[in-house]
Amino acid sequence: MTDPEKKTLRVALLGCGTVGREVVRLIESQSDDLTARVGAELQIAGIAVRRGGRDRGVDPALLTTDAHGLAVRDDIDLVVEVVGGIEPARSWLVDALKAGKSVVSANKALLAEDGATLQEAAAAGGADLYYEAAVAGAIPILRPLRESLHGDRITRITGIVNGTTNYILSSMDSTGAGFNEALDEATELGYAEADPTADVEGFDAAAKAAILASLAFHTRVTAADVHREGITEVTAADVASARAMGCTVKLLCIAERHTDADGGESVSVRVHPAMLPRTHPLASVGDAFNAVFVEADAAGQLMFYGRGAGGAPTASAVLGDLVAVARNRLAGARATPESPYADLRIRPMAEARTRYHISLDVSDKAGVLAEVAAAFARQDVSISTVRQEGRGDDATLVAVTHTATDAALAATVEALRELPIVRNVVSVMRVEGGESK
Ligand SMILES: NC(=O)C1=CN([C@@H]2O[C@H](COP(=O)(O)OP(=O)(O)OC[C@H]3O[C@@H](n4cnc5c(N)ncnc54)[C@H](OP(=O)(O)O)[C@@H]3O)[C@@H](O)[C@H]2O)C=CC1
Ligand SMILES: N[C@@H](CC=O)C(=O)O
């Protein structure tokens, strides 16, 4: 409950791990400044963790293992959730919001799976729900989409939104590090999720892609609507092959607005590794940095860049939201939530227009090229470049296509697998940039 005399807002912190610890540090170390910016003191009234009895460098009297009890306690004004996962976090936040507590969350998995339920609870409780930290760590991207670009029409978002996979791919590219070694480093640095499968299999990026697409296109996109591929199949040979083409491999999230044949609109949202020309603005985004490239009708192209993972960068975004919800609360106001009014059709991946880089082990005989080219032609897929590496039994053909539907490209790969002269389809990867759709 807001104390009008003392002007203190009481904060329940759910989670005290990589991000939570930094939230505590920032609130404590900037206490006076935050009080001046908010107009009231932000006081941490309790901290929920899973395992009690550990020294966490915080006042032990604040610790509890009853997150739900803390979130709905009468004296709590603001709830910060930095635990992660769907349940029990959803139940805690729904009950806190219905009880009128303003909520700040970094939980992209929950927001992408069931943001609608949280928004309904926020509306029922007349409370704020802010989640800037859920996408791209410290980078302010959700607020620009929700506010600054609200008068424009966004057509496309291309992003690197997972720090762990970008760290792994950048290390493989620049130092030749192995996949597992780089993943261990990313985990040690606090970038990876509690279960890093969420990072390397693309679930984390897909959740962020769903949140970005929902805000950019004013429609409901959930994680289940996002085509998702991770980076576990990316090999050192793929990275070297990309390098030979003047490209680098990145895990991209791509959200596009389309005009359908009947004049209506649809959106496609996908996450997959892709070869990107080194001249592309996203190609130079290394380490655990993230970047989001936004294209809009009037604004043109914008790029948002910064630290996308790690305790302190993420806590920076959490604190920004905390100040915003605290101010709203003092003003007796609530931010107008984004409406999914556009209700756009979600296009399946098969309809997306992409390009493929295909590497084949072939028998180096006369007519091989013609047979391979015919397989592409049967699917109406046009080849942009083709080159042969090696000779005889070691011959490899590398083909890069022009843009075609993903369905036609996938069918081409299946047809190539059936050709007797193709010993092995060594790798298939999409290519982004460098050609209009
Ligand atoms: N790390 C990052 O770079 C970023 C993380 N995020 C998101 O922020 C959230 C937190 O991430 P992070 O700090 O890395 O995660 P951690 O795993 O480091 O911390 C999670 C915290 O939640 C606590 N917790 C887990 N289950 C419960 C439970 N049932 N009841 C009470 N407390 C519980 C844990 O307690 P205990 O300490 O006892 O285990 C721990 O303190 C996630 O949603 C993540 O996706 C967003 C952007 C970046
Ligand atoms: N595991 C995530 C953390 C931030 O969202 C990542 O690597 O980007």
Return the HEC string of 155-207: EEEEEECCHHHHHHHHHHHHCCCCHHHHHHHHHHCCCCCCCCHHHHCCHHHHH
For position 46, what pLDDT does the model report? 98
Per-residue confidence at 142, pLDDT binned at 50, 70, 90? Answer: very high
For position 436, what pLDDT does the model report? 58
Q: Which amino acid is at 318?
A: V
Burial of 369 (0-12, 13-18, 19+ CB in 10 A): middle
* CA separation for the pair 269, 348 (Å, rounded): 9
For position 237, what pLDDT does the model report? 87
Q: How many angstroms does the Cα of residue 326 sit away from the middle of ligand 1?
A: 23
* CA separation for the pair 80, 9 (Å, rounded): 13
Asked if residues 71 and 57 have their Cβ atoms less than 8 Å apart, the reply is no
- Ligand 2 pocket check for 193: Cβ under 6 Å: yes
For position 6, what pLDDT does the model report? 54
Contacts of 174 (CB under 8 A, 6+ apart): 286
Tokens of residue 408, six digits: 């036609």
Phi and psi, residue 268, nearest 5°: -125, 140
Residue 118, SS3 per DSSP = helix
* CA separation for the pair 17, 83 (Å, rounded): 8
Tokens of residue 44, six digits: 């941490």
Closest Cα to residue 71, out of 22, 31, 113, 104?
Answer: 104
Mean pLDDT computed over 255-263: 95
Q: Kindly name the residue from 6, 208, 250, 437 that is annotated as catalytic.
A: 208
For position 262, what pLDDT does the model report? 94
Mean pLDDT computed over 74-97: 98
- Ligand 2 pocket check for 248: Cβ under 6 Å: no
For position 365, what pLDDT does the model report? 83
Please list every protein residue whose CB sits less than 6 Å from any atom of ligand 1: 15-20, 48-51, 67, 82-84, 88, 106-108, 133, 137, 190-191, 193-194, 309-310, 314
List the residue whose alpha carbon is closest to atom 5 of ligand 2. 309
Which of the listed residues 142, 187, 191, 318 should we mutate to test ligand 2's pocket, taking the one with most ligand atoms within 8 A of CB? 191
Tokens of residue 228, six digits: 């998702």
Other Cβ atoms less than 10 A from the Cβ of 203: the count is 22
Is the bond preceding residue 88 a cis peptide, omega within 30 degrees? yes
**Parallel, antiparallel, or unpaired: how do β-strands 154-160 and 247-259 relate?**
antiparallel
For position 433, what pLDDT does the model report? 85
Q: How many angstroms does the Cα of residue 10 sit away from the middle of ligand 2?
A: 28
Q: In the chain, what percentage of residues exceed pLDDT 70? A: 98
Catalytic (active site) residue 208: yes
pTM, two decimals, is 0.96
Mean pLDDT computed over 408-436: 92
* CA separation for the pair 302, 290 (Å, rounded): 14
Ranges of beta strands (E only) in 187-322 are 227-228, 247-259, 265-277, 289-296, 300-307
Mean pLDDT computed over 101-107: 98
* pLDDT greater than 90 at residue 335: yes
* CA separation for the pair 152, 295 (Å, rounded): 10
Q: Which amino acid is at 414?
A: E
Phi and psi, residue 8, nearest 5°: -120, 135
Ranges of beta strands (E only) in 297-343 are 300-307
Per-residue confidence at 435, pLDDT binned at 50, 70, 90? Answer: low
For position 363, what pLDDT does the model report? 84
Considering every ligand atom shown, identify the ligand nearest to the alpha carbon of residue 13 and give its number.
Answer: 1
Per-residue confidence at 85, pLDDT binned at 50, 70, 90? Answer: very high
- Ligand 2 pocket check for 429: Cβ under 6 Å: no
Q: What is the mean pLDDT of the chain?
A: 95
Mean pLDDT computed over 247-274: 97
For 147-181, how does the pLDDT look when each residue is reduced to its tens digit (9 = 90+)? 999 999 999 999 999 999 999 999 999 988 889 99
Domains identified in the chain and CATH numbers: 8-137+312-331 (3.40.50.720), 142-307 (3.30.360.10), 352-431 (3.30.70.260)
Mean pLDDT computed over 392-400: 87
